[in-house]
């Protein structure tokens, strides 16, 4: 059975669990009514199922390659990308004045979820372009916007982000790339960047690189970094790709997965670029793109988890060992866990997106803080679920899961990097207990209060959810009493516990909406009775004495 986009699941979530109706009631998103969104999701699902999903194995078996300096995409990717660009999917949230649709990010995340489940390697290309569009909308001058945005939105050109260097990974402030003024408003950008996803492409007529580099008078660290637009081909007077710029792909990385997505080592050799935003303020501009990408990467994990769950369920229904293995208790346990985790993580991501949408539509500081607090959880938990569910999918397949021909292992290999790129999951957790608690815990307390309010109903599944909210609240207050640096050792565990409690809330909402006993109530019971108890262990780890961790020396670990 081929991949099937979970269109019905999105419809249920948007109606009953993370409602879209409040967004449609705003002036900015008035066109995002239920009927319009249902049509958009159905069409995106059809494209994902019929055009993108058949490319999943092709990209893995025939990777992107570099031939005499020319990048060659995997077979069929031209057709797949053409469907994405031609359908207007890249500009779903972009400014209508530049050719976008101006729809909510929540709808875009649902579309990205389906595309990721169909073919993650190809979906990564428009994802990066979408992030660049948002960065340019916020930080580029009008002339740059007029030149680049329509072409990026249409998919005629594509975008990348260039942060990482061999010596500067998570420590971006250690980068060495430099930019020298050319005297005509442009700059000569020189340096090497690594891990550049889709750093080159034969699917578009121009590749537009956003590059972090230092001006001659720049300070050390992140405060001295500027952002530059450096296109592969220099636009001519009419805005068409002209002369080749002084940049090249040095090599392609040999990766564990995502073989259809070329990950490039890029060399900029005095390449012509233009400043995006103010000098020395490049990190602020790049973080606009990165924050967009962090939520989107969490959604990538969820999309892959959905595909892995579908494949494992199909196999379990067909595989006979003392009867169909789907009848065995342990297999049912794994499949129910996979499905319950996907639903919970999907709701976290969509809740985050709708909060950010509401902030854009209304200017609400409360909505912005809510979305900001949910972003590291959505990124980290979405990708963790992608990894765990795809790993469990291999287990359901048994020995056949370890055989590449079944395709079960590809999901794990492809999704594993999502916990690493766009800020490792450990960095996301530190952000949650650091910057996201810097307001005294106001936004986090509000989220916990929502969980408690959802659980304040007469329903058999409500009491454990209420208890989870109380335990999370107590742990949060204990962490707030510590200095930020003393929270970091338990940050990952705290994020996991927070995600567990949020997931329980969404499952309870689903059960309440279903009313009578049904599949969503049974799934909610599985999550709340079998998975939610793990919250206690996570919070105990989060509150463990930080001194004990600090006392473990490097010599201890190398003994």
Q: How far is CA 169 from CA 54, 76, 163, 418, in A?
A: 34, 33, 8, 15
Convert the pLDDT of each residue in 61-113 to its tens digit: 999 999 988 999 999 999 999 999 999 999 999 999 999 999 999 999 999 99
Would you say residue 268 lies in a domain? yes
Local confidence band at 252 (pLDDT 50, 70, 90 cut-offs): very high
**Mean pLDDT confidence for 107-126:** 98
Would you say residue 358 lies in a domain? no
Would you say residue 478 lies in a domain? yes
Tell me what percent of the residues of the chain surpass a pLDDT of 70.
100
What confidence score (pLDDT) does residue 69 get? 87
Same domain, 51 and 138: yes
What confidence score (pLDDT) does residue 517 get? 86
Same domain, 539 and 483: yes
Same domain, 12 and 136: yes
Local confidence band at 31 (pLDDT 50, 70, 90 cut-offs): very high
Same domain, 471 and 494: yes
Convert the pLDDT of each residue in 389-425 to its tens digit: 999 999 999 999 999 999 999 999 999 999 999 889 9
**Mean pLDDT confidence for 33-44:** 97
End-to-end CA distance of the chain: 50
Would you say residue 354 lies in a domain? no
Same domain, 433 and 531: yes
CA–CA separation, 476 vs 558, rounded Å? 34
Same domain, 38 and 144: yes
Domain range enclosing 91: 7-152
Query: What is the 8-class DSSP label of residue 491?
Result: H
**Domain CATH code at residue 98:** 1.10.540.10
Domain count, the chain: 3
Same domain, 44 and 115: yes
Local confidence band at 291 (pLDDT 50, 70, 90 cut-offs): confident
**Mean pLDDT confidence for 357-381:** 97
Boundary residue ending a domain (152, 173, 196): 152
What confidence score (pLDDT) does residue 319 get? 82
What confidence score (pLDDT) does residue 45 get? 98
Beta carbons within 8 Å of 198's beta carbon, 6+ residues apart: 124, 125, 128, 158, 160, 207, 261, 262, 264
* Residue 450 annotated to the active site: no
**Domain CATH code at residue 266:** 2.40.110.20
By the 8 A CB rule, do 190 and 266 touch?
Answer: no
Q: Which of 14-28, 220-234, 263-277, 370-384 has the lowest mean pLDDT?
A: 220-234
Same domain, 75 and 211: no
Same domain, 218 and 120: no
What confidence score (pLDDT) does residue 175 get? 87
Mean predicted lDDT score pLDDT of the chain: 95
CA–CA separation, 32 vs 38, rounded Å? 9
Boundary residue ending a domain (133, 152, 171): 152
Catalytic residue among 15, 306, 422, 555: 422
Boundary residue ending a domain (280, 315, 349): 280
Local confidence band at 472 (pLDDT 50, 70, 90 cut-offs): very high
Would you say residue 296 lies in a domain? no
By the 8 A CB rule, do 379 and 294 touch?
Answer: yes
Convert the pLDDT of each residue in 161-183 to its tens digit: 998 898 877 777 788 999 999 99
Same domain, 71 and 167: no
Same domain, 119 and 208: no
Same domain, 27 and 137: yes
pLDDT at 349 over 90: yes
Would you say residue 381 lies in a domain? no
Would you say residue 16 lies in a domain? yes
Local confidence band at 321 (pLDDT 50, 70, 90 cut-offs): confident
Would you say residue 486 lies in a domain? yes
**Mean pLDDT confidence for 502-511:** 98
Q: What are the two backbone dihedrals, phi and then psi, of residue 537, each rounded to the nearest 5 degrees?
A: -65, -40
The helix/strand/coil state of 16 is helix
Tell me what percent of the residues of the chain surpass a pLDDT of 90.
90
**Mean pLDDT confidence for 113-129:** 97
What confidence score (pLDDT) does residue 1 get? 57
Local confidence band at 275 (pLDDT 50, 70, 90 cut-offs): very high
């Amino acid at each position: 059975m081929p991949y099937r986009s979970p269109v019905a699941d999105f419809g249920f979530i948007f109606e009953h669990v993370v409602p879209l109706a409040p967004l449609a009631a705003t002036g900015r998103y008035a066109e995002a009514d239920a009927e319009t969104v249902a049509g958009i999701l159905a069409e995106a699902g059809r494209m994902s199922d019929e055009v993108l999903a058949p490319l999943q194995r092709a990209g893995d078996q025939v990777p992107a390659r570099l031939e005499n300096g020319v990048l060659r995409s995997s077979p069929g990717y031209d057709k797949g990308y053409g469907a994405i660009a031609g359908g207007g999917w890249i500009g779903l949230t972009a400014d209508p004045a530049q050719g976008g649709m101006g729809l909510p990010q929540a709808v875009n995340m649902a579309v990205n979820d389906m595309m990721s489940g169909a073919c993650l390697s190809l979906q990564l290309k428009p994802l990066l372009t979408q992030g660049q569009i948002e960065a340019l909308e916020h930080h580029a001058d009008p002339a740059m916007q007029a030149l680049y945005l329509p072409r990026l939105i249409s998919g005629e050109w594509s975008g990348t982000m260039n942060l990482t260097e061999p010596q500067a990974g998570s420590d971006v402030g250690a980068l060495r790339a430099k930019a020298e003024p050319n005297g005509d408003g442009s700059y000569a950008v020189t340096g090497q960047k690594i891990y550049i996803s889709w750093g080159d492409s034969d699917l578009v007529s121009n590749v537009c690189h956003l590059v972090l580099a230092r001006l001659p008078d720049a300070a050390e660290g992140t405060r001295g970094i500027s952002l530059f637009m450096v296109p592969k081909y220099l636009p001519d007077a009419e805005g068409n790709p002209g002369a080749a710029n002084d940049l090249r792909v040095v090599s392609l990385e040999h990766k564990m997965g995502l073989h259809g997505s070329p990950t490039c080592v890029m060399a900029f050799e005095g390449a012509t670029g233009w400043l995006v935003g103010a000098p020395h303020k490049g990190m602020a501009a790049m973080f606009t793109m990165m924050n967009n990408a962090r939520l989107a990467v969490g959604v990538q994990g969820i999309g892959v988890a959905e595909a892995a769950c579908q494949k494992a369920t199909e196999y379990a229904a067909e595989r006979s060992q003392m009867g169909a293995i789907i009848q065995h208790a342990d297999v049912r346990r794994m499949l129910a866990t996979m499905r319950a985790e996907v639903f919970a993580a999907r709701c976290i991501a969509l809740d985050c997106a709708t909060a950010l949408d509401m902030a854009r539509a209304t200017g609400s500081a409360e909505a912005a803080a809510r979305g900001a607090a949910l972003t590291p959880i959505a990124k980290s938990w979405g990708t963790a679920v992608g990894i765990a569910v795809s790993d469990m999918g291999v287990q359901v397949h048994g020995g056949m899961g370890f055989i590449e021909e079944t395709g079960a292992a590809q999901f794990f290999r492809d999704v594993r990097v999502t916990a690493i790129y766009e800020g490792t999951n450990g960095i996301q957790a530190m952000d949650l207990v650091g910057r996201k608690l810097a307001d005294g815990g106001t936004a986090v307390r509000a989220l916990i209060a929502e969980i408690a309010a959802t659980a304040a109903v007469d329903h058999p599944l409500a009491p454990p959810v209420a208890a989870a909210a109380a335990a999370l609240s107590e742990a949060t207050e204990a962490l707030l009493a510590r200095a930020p640096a003393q929270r970091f050792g338990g940050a990952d565990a705290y994020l996991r516990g927070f995600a567990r409690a949020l997931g329980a809330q969404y499952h309870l909402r689903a059960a309440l909406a279903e009313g009578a006993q049904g599949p969503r109530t049974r799934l909610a019971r599985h999550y709340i009775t079998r998975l939610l108890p793990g919250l206690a262990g996570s919070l105990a780890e989060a509150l463990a004495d930080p001194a004990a961790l600090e006392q473990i020396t490097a010599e201890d670990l190398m003994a």
